[in-house]
Amino acid sequence: MDVVIVHHSGSKRALRTACDDHVAALIDELVDDAVEYLAEGERSGLVRPSERPRQRAVVLVLWSLGLLTLHEHVRRHLDADLVGDAGGLDNYLLPAAEVLDHGVLADGVYEQMREAFGAVEVGDE
């Protein structure tokens, strides 16, 4: 196997770097798409506006990729199949929609965190 890797990539390190670059490009594309989809959602009234639309998109994409990576545990804990026949999908979608619609943090926590981290107002950056 090492001979094939060296022949095509030069080394295991070069192959790893090429794979990392490919994954990074794919994630960049997913984030760009998510920024556009979320902006459309804002325009249609389905999605709340964000002070940091790109960062929000990054967080949502990475959360989603983590969810897909851990799909077997989603099935185990929620009896929801995210990569197969979509059985039990409501067991995932309803709690996810609750988190996204109602939130998790109590009122004021976001403002407290912004203050604690010295966040500047968008536009003042």
Task: Give the pLDDT score at 124.
Answer: 54
pTM, 2 dp: 0.79
Amino acid at 32: D
pLDDT tens figures, 63-105: 999 999 999 999 999 999 999 888 899 999 999 999 999 999 9
Q: Would you list the DSSP string of 31-58?
A: HHHHHHHHHHHHHHTSS---SSHHHHHH
Q: pLDDT at residue 12 above 90?
A: no
Report the pLDDT averaged over residues 26-52: 97
Q: How far apart are CA 24 and CA 44, in angstroms?
A: 30
Grade residue 121 by pLDDT with cuts at 50, 70 and 90: low
Task: Give the pLDDT score at 87.
Answer: 81
Report the pLDDT averaged over residues 51-68: 96
Q: In the predicted model, what is the mean pLDDT of the chain?
A: 90
